[in-house]
Amino acid sequence: MSTGEVSASSGDGRSLASTARAAFAAVLFVGWAILTVIWVSSTIDLAADGEVSAVISAVLSLALLTLLAGMEGLEVAVIDRWRVLYPERTTSELAAWLAARQLFVALIVTTATILSHRSELTIPFTSETISGTTVPKLFDIVWTGFTVLWFAQILPKHMAATNPDRYLGVLRRPLFPVVDLVRKAGVSKPAEAVASVVERRLDWPLTSAQQIQESVLPREESLGHIWRELIPETPPASGAPDARDQGEPGRTGE
């Protein structure tokens, strides 16, 4: 087989795999949309039966997921712009800030799952309902899981990576003080203490020789740059300057 035939066969294989992934993603999204319609319908039916708490819990759940989205994107933007925002602060302070931010991830995902739970699921346009324990809980895991993954994690992280300065311009003022309050309260200190003890017991830190080897390794890409690569950039319009030629906004010369 010639080199050209091998290349064509490899290209066909990649194209087929890409098509299969796109089809699977479409099925997942359609499934999520159906579950969303069921969730909304169930909430409306519960409210119609006099359970006003169903509407309140739905609103609170969506509000918490919105807050989580803001916090998730903030992580990427802050890591990417830390040296520009706070040139006088150390990397250890960034680590403490990131550790404090994790509180919101842990609490919001748990709380949102509880608030979005519907004891009875209503199938739209029918009189059928599903109650019990197993199915509603499985529904919670699937619907909340994909909602969090797609819209409260991947979407905001990519937005923050694509334009960290704009992201920070919108969300830095309302969210930074909240994370700083958690950091100053020392909420993450128990985990830091446990990590220190466990890592010492396991002799986990890098040895001196490993630290020397790491120091000569090529510089790693920033977290923001890696997330930007999730969706390939489209070529700039004819005559438009390429952003890569202009440098990243907010960066200072090194």
Which pLDDT score, from 0 to 100, does residue 223 have? 76
Nearest CA among 71, 33, 104, 250 for reference residue 163: 250
Q: Which two tokens stand for residue 91?
A: 């990397």
Where does residue 254 rank: exposed (0-12), middle (13-18), buried (19+ CB within 10 A)? exposed
Q: Please provide residue 54's backbone torsions phi and psi, each rounded to the nearest 5 degrees.
A: -65, -40
Q: Please, what are the averages of pLDDT over each run of 10 residues along the chain (254 residues)?
A: 55 81 96 96 93 95 96 94 90 90 93 94 89 91 96 96 95 92 91 92 86 73 78 58 46 38
3-state secondary structure of 168: helix
pLDDT, position 126: 86
Give residue 245's pLDDT: 47
The whole-number pLDDT of residue 175 equals 93
Going by their DSSP bridges, the two strands 121-122 and 129-130 should be labelled as: antiparallel
